[in-house]
Structure 1
């Protein structure tokens, strides 16, 4: 399999291929892994009953994935990476503003995955904590560097392997006695924690938004928007919801699953424990490769806007992605012994910075420009989108600031977070910037749409 030759540039029509059903397997498998399962345990750990945790998970994932799948539909139509499209809203250089936030978010999640997999790798390799994290990062880097096609093929493989593994785990739980009142809907409800779990679950789904079109951009331009949306939506909803629900169930049955999920789950397999561990490690390697791949895309989109670059060499890709993997690995090593607070904070904090970007991007694509863009101008700082769009940058900042009165982190508890008992900042983060962007631009935007390069 050849190393992917395309990067941040437009994918020519003659190089487009595939069917949107591939989007189902990549997003289903991306969620069929232990980090997703850990999100499902958070409600139980916080004291919410099993039945209410499950309802909150389904609600949050179902809502959050709407925005994720809406971004996915942009890929075949424009044929460019997700964050390049942000240049139409922020300007060719101004897009570096949200890009930096996305780049950092991808790195933090990559680091979190390294910590989660540390003990799993040590279970079948005689290595230390730091070495295990380094090995995990190295394998993720290799897959991310090879690129798009390998990631999709791995997604198809892991849909079968991880899906089968977790299905067997469900079978193991059938004989385990549930805690008293776990399924009694009249008990165990805590409004604040219920709202928090909805937000965390929605945050997980929305978090794919900044890179979801990276994995649909090679599809033919005439691919149905509805098919792109629904294959992405169903893959993500089913993958995320099922694994999170399993996480909630396991947290109710096996207390050590919250501290060492891989070892707790593999212990159910007896002599097949190491096989189960390897499959779980492979599952997280896949999502880690996605994170690294898209972190590289965001990083290069940010830099290329300044220098007017349209194509990136494989050598530059190797260096930039390697540095990104190294940074994530160092963060993982540094935070590995204080992981619970770290993971909860980044899961919530991405709401503050990624959701306002998502709201602006979707408002522009579906309400203001209605999918009509000039792709060549997204690579030209002197084109119609300009270098900076100050009004969009201000709206983005207002969107971020709108979350401050609702923030709830391990080191800061806002007024409304204390009133409601949980962080609900995702609601203003979606509504405020989308509304402001739409009403500011609905009568101002005039675009000479050129969806592709004329000579392609």
Structure 2
């Protein structure tokens, strides 16, 4: 069984266990982005008021910018051989890294719960059963199996999701061309800067959410894997996959077909005679990304706990327990919550996006510009080591970066005053990156203690 279930967790992957090529990063992230929630994200750009053409262009720009940040995190994996959030201890301190970790867990728990609802609807349609709980529980069990088996199986699922996604979404695109006048959807609205910036933010925000766990899935690559190869494979897989899905969403929303009211049902109707196969594609795509959420969520939980018990390695049984515990909570939320609660919880989760951009800015600035890719790995597990317990330079920069975004937020729960002056455009993610970097970079040059 040890050859089937992944044995590693938060510990360094040794050289003799390294394997694979950067192509695995392309298929993993392409498959994880060919899914119904990415379609919804693209549709929202049109719902917010953008013309279909400008929505697609804005989404592309956002995906490219956010994809660069996300892929820079991925390139750390082969070099360090560590899960992404363990490396945060080099910037925040062994205890200080827990601060962003807790918020990251809440974020991925929210994504897992809401994604489970959508996948559950598709499973219900495949099985021809009525109670929503059936599909939710089945999907939770499927996620638990793959996420518990670990790294190799998650990558295998990514390859399957890539093939299914290409076939399924190509078919849906053809059906859309046949059943509607797609050309008439372009130019139906005048260009508007506010909605265009919102589309950019939707694309960028989508990519940035992968940052806290993207290196979890590149850490088994051989240490001598060129960073540019890991970067490009991750970047292209994530950006092409997400843009493909979001473009379909923008076109569907521009047609006014009521997609947002019943996402799974609409795609089944668009598929016509092979609706059941499209439902299967939806389940596989959501399973790919939900396994990332569950596996990454469990790694984040383990990173939090081991900061205080000083463990340097967690066995597969403990990792499985944390993964299943994470999934149980997400399934319970999906089962017990009312639809209104889920909508509100999803919006709360989206507001939490502002905790990712300052973390990314600090992590990337330190790794590439301050430490210059030099990390004292044993010290990451020792509060008395080089990185200490609480790094105030990173923590203060982090909270300033969060606070700076509040004035620029444009979410359902809260809209900042500067956002109103901008006509509703949300550029908070960009403000978070710029302000955090501007504060952290010069300050950390004076206070950092990188390895020689």
TM-score range, shorter chain: over 0.9
Q: In structure 1, list runs of 5 or more residues that go unmatched.
A: 450-456
**What residue is the counterpart of 1:322 in the other structure?**
324
Offset of residue 342 of structure 1: 4.3
SS in 2 for 1:323: helix
Q: How does 1:42-441 map to 2 (within 5 A)?
A: 42-125=44-127, 126-178=129-181, 182-184=185-187, 187-253=189-255, 255-335=257-337, 337-338=339-340, 339-340=342-343, 342-347=345-350, 349-420=351-422, 421-441=424-444
Rounded to whole Å, the distance in 1 between the matches of 2:139 and 2:214 is 23
Summarize deviations over 1:100-149 as a string: whole Å, max 9, x none.
11111111111120122232122122141233222212211211111100
Q: Per-residue displacement from partner, 1:262-308 (whole Å, max 9, x unpaired)?
A: 22122233332112211211110110011000000000001101110
Q: Deviations over 1:305-332 (max 9, x none)?
A: 1110111122222221122111112222
Which secondary structure does the structure 2 equivalent of 1:19 belong to? coil
Residues 22 and 358 (structure 1), Cα distance of their counterparts in 2 relative to 1, 3 Å cut: same
Moved more, 127-136 or 110-119: 127-136
Q: Once the 2 structures are TM-superposed, how far is the Cα of residue 170 of structure 1 from its aligned partner? A: 1.1
CA contact (8 A) 2:347 2:413 kept: no
Classify the secondary structure of the residue corresponding to 1:174: helix
Structure 2 CA distance for aligned equivalents of residues 97 and 36 of structure 1: 28
Report the Cα offset of residue 11 of structure 1.
0.4
Runs of 4+ in structure 1 deviating by more than 6 angstroms, as ranges, are none
TM normalised by structure 1 equals 0.94
Whole-Å separation in 1 of the counterparts to 2:396 and 2:405: 15
- How well do the aligned residues superpose, as a CA RMSD in angstroms? 1.7
String of CA shifts for 1:325-372, please: whole Å, max 9, x gaps.
Answer: 11112222344513555435533x233111110010000011111101
- Once the two structures are superposed, what CA deviation does each residue of 1:171-198 show, in whole Å capped at 9, x if it has no partner? 112223337853128x432322221121
TM-score normalised according to structure 2 size: 0.95
* Equivalent-residue separation in structure 2 for 1:111 and 1:219 (angstroms): 30
Structure 2 CA distance for aligned equivalents of residues 51 and 336 of structure 1: 35
1:259 to partner: Cα distance: 2.0
Q: CA deviation at 1:445?
A: 2.6
State whether residues 351 and 425 of structure 1, in contact with CA within 8 Å, keep that contact through their aligned partners in structure 2: no
**Structure 2: which 5+ runs fail to align?**
none
CA distance in 2, matches of 1:198, 1:68: 15
